[in-house]
Amino acid sequence: MKWIGVIILGLAIIWTATTLAPAHAQEWSAVEKATLRSLWIDSLAPTPKDPSNLVADDARAATLGHRLFFDKQFSGDGEVSCASCHRPELWFTDGLALAKGMGTTLRHTQTIVGTAYSPWLFWDGRKDSQWSQALGPMESPVEHGGTRVQFAKIIVSDPFYRQAYEDIFGVLPDILDSGRFPTIAAPNNVPESREAWEKMVPDDREMISRIFSNMGKAIAAYERLILPGPSRFDRYVEDVLNGNGKVLANTFSDDEVAGLRLFIGKGNCIQCHNGPLFTNNDFHNTGVPSKSNLDPDRGRAEGVKAVRADEFNCLDSFSDAGEGDCAELKYMQTDSSELLGRFKVATLRNVSNTAPYMHSGDFPTLAEVLEFYNSPPEAKLGQSELNPLYLNTTELSQMESFLKTLIGPVDAQEKYLLPPQ
């Protein structure tokens, strides 16, 4: 009978070890490993070329763009730069619900980290390149609040900027005649500025816009160098793929593994937050409301109109693209009824350090975001694509634990994370 007792005891030990084994000791299937590999930072492809910007990978342009990015004189009041909203220490966001420059915008600031991989910029995708995106805020009255004539004159007048610009783009024209080139002139919605702009002859307007567009291309050359670095999640995936079971327990906790399984499984988060950047760079309606005191935000439905009309889009004369380029713009979805209320999927890399969340900045914490997705309301505009997740309190906590493992550094030279000297 002794041997029967030993067998029973052995079976009990095996059962206990199996049922109570930590989640990180469980095996990942081949399909799951393939999914984890697809999210791994080492699976990120080389930075894609931008045919609309011939200086996108020019080191001289990146140096010029770096200085432009941090320079507050490129604003209406001398107090706002690109770095005012895209602060390196906050993963190039600003920590505010709604972005603030010379005034307050209608949307939350998105990070620029990894945007070289995105065919569309801004929450509504109203820009189709990093360089055209950089130009929009500069003439917005509530952001930089300046004019392209003002900025072009700074480039011409400042010895550093003039030399740096001419080394890259060629000799600058003489644009300092205030009668011919009024500083307030810009094709914006400010009546005085628009009137002054329209009085300028077409060749002079083209001259100014060419300098302005080249400024954007230099800023884009800098922003292309701002990429995400590896997180603890990436180290865990590396251990999984290498079969390094001994260190898995030290990389991820039980709750973090459980949260990862929910992310790629029951939660179906990976449907939109996929790839090494945890975004498909597409637009979806999740029913997130606009600020209560604002008109409903139409999102991508207005974005497609704006990008088609943009003088700095991939197909326009300031673009360096050829006839065979600009496929995204040529063949983008344009049915506004289907695009109503859709917004761009944000990256989840470093998500726990980039609060608040959503295009409206309405959610201060990750826990509130997860609660929203768990029991989504009906969309006020368009049709929400969300279904309830039916996650319990423990599962929601586990999901949040996993998302916090996506914290990682910015992968860029240290000098690019600081104002230029």
Give DSSP secondary structure letters for 108-163: PPPP-TTGGG-SSBSTT--BSSHHHHHHHHHH-TTTT---HHHHHHHHHHSHHHHH
pLDDT tens across 352-389, in order?
999 999 999 999 999 999 999 999 999 989 999 999 99
* CA–CA dist 44, 279 (Å, integer): 12
Per the omega criterion (within 30 degrees of 0), is the bond before 356 cis?
yes
Same domain (yes/no): 140, 245:
no
CA pair distance 405, 259, nearest whole angstrom: 10
* Whether 100 and 193 share a structural domain: yes
133, 53 Cβ separation under 8 angstroms: no
pLDDT for the residue numbered 303:
97
Query: How far is Cα 21 from Cα 27, in angstroms, rounded to an integer?
Result: 11
Residue 14 has pLDDT above 80, yes or no: no
* CATH number of the domain bearing residue 289: 1.10.760.10
> Quick check: is 421 in a domain?
no
Listed as own residue / partner, the contacts of 411-420 with beta carbons closer than 8 Å and 24 or more positions apart are 411/227, 411/228, 411/229, 412/225, 412/226, 412/227, 413/225, 415/66, 416/62, 416/66, 416/222, 416/225, 416/226, 417/88, 418/88, 419/70, 419/83, 420/63, 420/66, 420/67, 420/70
Residue 340 identity (one-letter amino acid) = L
Bridge partners (DSSP) of residue 127 are 121
Q: Provide the number of structural domains found in the chain.
A: 2
Q: What is the mean pLDDT of the chain?
A: 92
Give the tokens for residue 134: 């950089």
The pLDDT value recorded for residue 8 is 37
Q: Is the pLDDT of residue 126 over 60?
A: yes
Residue 17 lies in a domain: no
Q: Please tell me whether residues 170 and 250 are part of one structural domain.
A: no
374, 396 Cβ separation under 8 angstroms:
yes
What is the C-alpha to C-alpha distance for residues 106 and 297, in angstroms, rounded to an integer? 9
Do 285 and 162 fall within a single domain?
A: no
Average pLDDT over residues 191-207: 97
The reply to whether 11 falls in a domain is no
Q: Are residues 163 and 279 in the same domain?
A: no
Q: What pLDDT sits at residue 406?
A: 98
Check residue 237 and give its pLDDT.
95
Range of the domain at 201: 59-223
In a domain, 286, yes or no: yes
DSSP state of 181: S
pLDDT in tens, 287-304: 998 765 567 899 999 999
The Cα–Cα gap between 142 and 182 comes to 21
CA atoms within 13 A on the CB side of 16: 6
Please say whether the dihedral angle defined by the alpha carbons of residues 213, 223, 276 and 46, taken in this order, is positive or negative.
positive
- Under 8 Å CB-to-CB from 174, ≥6 apart: which residues? 156
Mean pLDDT of the 151-169 span? 98
pLDDT score at 245: 64
Residue at a domain's end among 205, 223, 241 = 223
Q: What is the pLDDT of residue 292?
A: 59
pLDDT at residue 167 in the model: 98
As a whole-number percent, the residues of the chain with pLDDT over 90 amount to: 87
Asked if 215 and 256 sit in the same domain, the reply is no
Q: pLDDT band at 9, cuts 50/70/90?
A: very low
Residue 71 and residue 217 in one domain: yes
Are 218 and 233 found together in one domain?
A: no
Q: Is residue 66 part of a domain?
A: yes
Choosing from 223, 240, 261, the residue where a domain stops is: 223
Q: Give residue 24's pLDDT.
A: 43
Residues 353 and 384 in one domain: yes
Is 257 part of any domain?
yes
**Would you say residue 53 lies in a domain?**
no
- Residue 16 — pLDDT band, cuts 50, 70, 90? very low
User: Do residues 148 and 172 share a domain?
Assistant: yes
Last residue of a domain, one of 223, 245, 274: 223
Residue 12 lies in a domain: no
Residues 158 and 266 in one domain: no
Query: Is 146 in the same domain as 234?
Result: no
